Amino acid sequence: MNISRVRKDFGFTLLEVMVAVALIGVIMSLVWSTTSQSLRTKDRVEERDTIFHSSDVALRKVADDIAVAFLTPSSTTTAAAPAAGGTAAPAMTPTPTATTATQPFKTFFIGEDRGDQDSVRFSSLSHIRLVKDSKQSDQCKISYEMVPNPEEPRRFDLMRREDALLDATTEVTGKAFPLAEGIAQFNVEYYDERKGEWGKEWDTEKGDWKDKLPVAVRVTLAFPDPDDETKTIPLSTAVMLPLSSGPIEP
């Protein structure tokens, strides 16, 4: 057998090698394109799933807190001073009045319209005692507000604060923790049964709202759309307030 002829029959020319390399390159490019597209789709799906999960947890917690918001009668009452001899003066007789404290704490429900970064604070019956035999009850003060995200200044975090004890102020100073991160909007609306419409503010310390809870509250969270930064994904829930019928006795 001619060895040189065998080598010639089983050998490849430079052109054949270059064509083979080009074909392999094309095939690898197609594989990489398909794989990278699948990975990007997987990332978008996971990000959307994270958004829906985060919003579900946040909205459920906000709704649970608001559902048991409560008010008690105003902290002070005005009564007629007793007449001489220890008996009360007749109703038609002008007499000095005296203010008597009925409770050492204040209950409230205050919602402020701040555009797309609303805030709300209220007294609630949602406190959970974590330390056995601690001098706490289910009464507490809770607030929700938006603060800029430290990593993405154009996005916000929904912060929850809680004070386990009520006092004479409407401020909530407890330690804040993020309930949802990377939010674009947080809007709260309050249903006024008297007017039959949703409003953007509520304050039980003022005017027509004094000592009255809204019948229902609607909360909306909007997250940036991972597929289009100019759009958002709004998610909302509405909750009824069973104790809106009137103040309860402390």
Choice between 198 and 248, residue whose per-residue pLDDT is larger: 198
In the chain, % of residues over pLDDT 90: 50
Mean residue pLDDT of the chain comes to 83
122 close to 141: Cβ distance less than 8 angstroms: yes
Residue whose C-alpha is closest to residue 141's, from 101, 179, 183, 169: 169
Query: 229: which 2 tokens?
Result: 């930064």
In sequence order, the β-bridge partners of residue 235 are 221
Q: Among 48-57, 76-85, 215-224, which range has the highest average pLDDT?
A: 215-224
CA distance 165 to 92: 42
- pLDDT confidence band for 2 (50 / 70 / 90): low
User: What was the pLDDT predicted at 55?
Assistant: 92
In sequence order, the β-bridge partners of residue 236 are 220
In sequence order, the β-bridge partners of residue 80 are 97
Neighbours of 44 (CB within 10 A): 13
pLDDT tens for 170-209 read 999 999 999 999 999 999 999 999 889 999 999 999 888 8
User: What was the pLDDT predicted at 97?
Assistant: 43
In the chain, % of residues over pLDDT 70: 83
In sequence order, the β-bridge partners of residue 79 are 98
pTM reported for the whole predicted model: 0.73
Choice between 80 and 165, residue whose per-residue pLDDT is larger: 165
Residue whose C-alpha is closest to residue 154's, from 114, 183, 191: 183
198 close to 217: Cβ distance less than 8 angstroms: no
CA distances from 97 to 84, 88, 93, 222 (A): 14, 11, 12, 52
Position 102 pLDDT exceeds 80: no
Residue the block writes with tokens 């709300």: 120
Q: Which run of H or E residues covers position 54?
A: helix 14-67
- How many alpha carbons lie under 13 Å from residue 90 in its C-beta half-sphere? 2
